[in-house]
Chain A
Amino acid sequence: MAQHDPWQIVDIPPSLRTPAQAAALRAAAGRDAELADVDAHLDEAMDALRAALDPAVSPALMTRLSARLAEEASPAPAESLAASLKGAWARLTQAMTLRWAWAPAALAAALLMVFWPGADEPSTRLRGVSSSAAVSVGLDVAVEGPGGAVSRVEGGLATAGPADGLVFRLPHRGGGQVHLLERAPSGAVSIIFSQSVEGGGGPVRITGPDGAEQRWRPEGEAGVWAYQAVLTAEASVLSAEALWGGALPEGGARSQIVSVRWEGAGE
């Protein structure tokens, strides 16, 4: 119907009209005074201008979006303070636990490990724990430098309630890996991963709980990856890797696991 009715064709944007529709509208506009204000000439002129607009992606905006996604995944400032205090307590608790010669219970509690090839930033931080105490899980973070040397280790027991999240912010260069080594309580897990590249870069792979989810970013592209998964009782490993295919570009490459957020179901 719209193929021939000029009053229906005018509802279709010029960029989507078929040549036949455009011709029908042009013909109708020439003989129908009422169609004067929807004349095909202006539509065509605007369509030509649309084609002249730049649809380019803005790397700056992508970077801001990445940061904004990280904020979304982070706890509120007030929570952060409580989280820091709980985190400190948790680390103390774990340090005491570890003195009991790697008790199986402590090993079973290890939740998160980060490998960090090429690490050179001393600022790897562990941030955020929840504000209520329904679920206790353990976590370990290991940051590994060139040649496999562990340059920094942080860890602790963390506590999270059903409505809370655990947020780990792990700035790094050169790529990294996040592993949930032991089964976490069921719940939603999201990893927000961003990468900005200046002058080069490498592929990125994110692997889901079942090991099946893999995507590789073409080299040299900047962007934001948001990964979400639901951990089931069977799932125990979730990993995200940034693997640089070649040498880091001079002064420019940065990949970042912006956050890992776990919202435990309280099992």
Chain B
Amino acid sequence: MRSDDDLMLAHARGEAGAFDVLVKRYQGPLTGFLRQMLGDEALAEDATIETLIKVHKAAARYAPQERFRPWLYTVAYREGVSLLRRRNKGVERATHSLADGEGAVPCYRPRPDATLAQRQALEAVEAVLSRLPEVQRAVFVLFYREGLATADIAEAVSIPPGSVRAYLSMVRKTIRETLPEFSPEAA
């Protein structure tokens, strides 16, 4: 499998199909990340498209040492926050946190063969995430879903690595307190 950096450089050189491979590789994960970060399906799709457009336009300036995935999620996070703020008409912080389940739309998308237990667990985690500020949601999703190391998340979300660890700790605590099935005792 060709590396992301290789594909970006190939795209910058004008190689047909390179960008398409990147789009196919990351469209699903990006939408998933933004869906969970933004809590809004339509907004997540908009942000995914804008992110990929920015990637396309930035290809000529891309330097491999930037490391593609952290850079991609940096772009995606900023795009998500920007769209969220635009939608919230200039409100500085995401204010769409929902009261317990009220009006909440499930934003996860389980695999077709996911078990009922998995679907219920995803739903429960989603409900907890939907009540968190966007930065905490983003940190959590980037770590657990997208597999970014804390240093990369710090770069993507523009916060110190220590804050990433603190946010992860806070979200874990919230999940354990809210969802007893995720506590060690339930293992």
Contact = CB atoms under 8 A, between A and B. Distances in A.
Contacts, number: 144
Nearest to A195: B20
Interface in B26-52: 27-29, 31-32, 45, 48-50, 52
Given A37-B172, A49-B118, A13 B16 contact: no
A79 B83 CA distance: 27
Contacts of A52: 110-111, 114-115, 118-119, 122
B67 interface: no
Per DSSP, are chain A's interface residues mostly helix, strand or loop, or mixed?
mixed
B19 interface: yes
Contact of B172 (A42, A208, A227, A228): A42
Contacts of A223: 20, 23-24
Given A42-B175, A47-B144, A54 B14 contact: no
Nearest to B121: A49
Interface in A204-249: 206, 208, 213-215, 217, 223-230
Nearest to A17: B147
B169 A69 contact: no
A13 B148 CA distance: 6
A106 interface: no
Interface string A71-97: 010000000000000000000000000
Contact of A61 (B48, B148, B173): B48
Chain B interface main SS type: helix
B168 A13 contact: no
Contacts of A50: 144-145, 147
Interface of A: 10-16, 29, 37-39, 41-43, 45-50, 52-58, 61-62, 64-65, 68-69, 72, 206, 208, 213-215, 217, 223-230
Interface of B: 11-12, 14-17, 19-20, 23-24, 27-29, 31-32, 45, 48-50, 52-53, 56-57, 59, 108-112, 114-115, 118-119, 121-122, 125, 143-151, 161, 165, 168-169, 172-173, 175-176, 182-184, 187
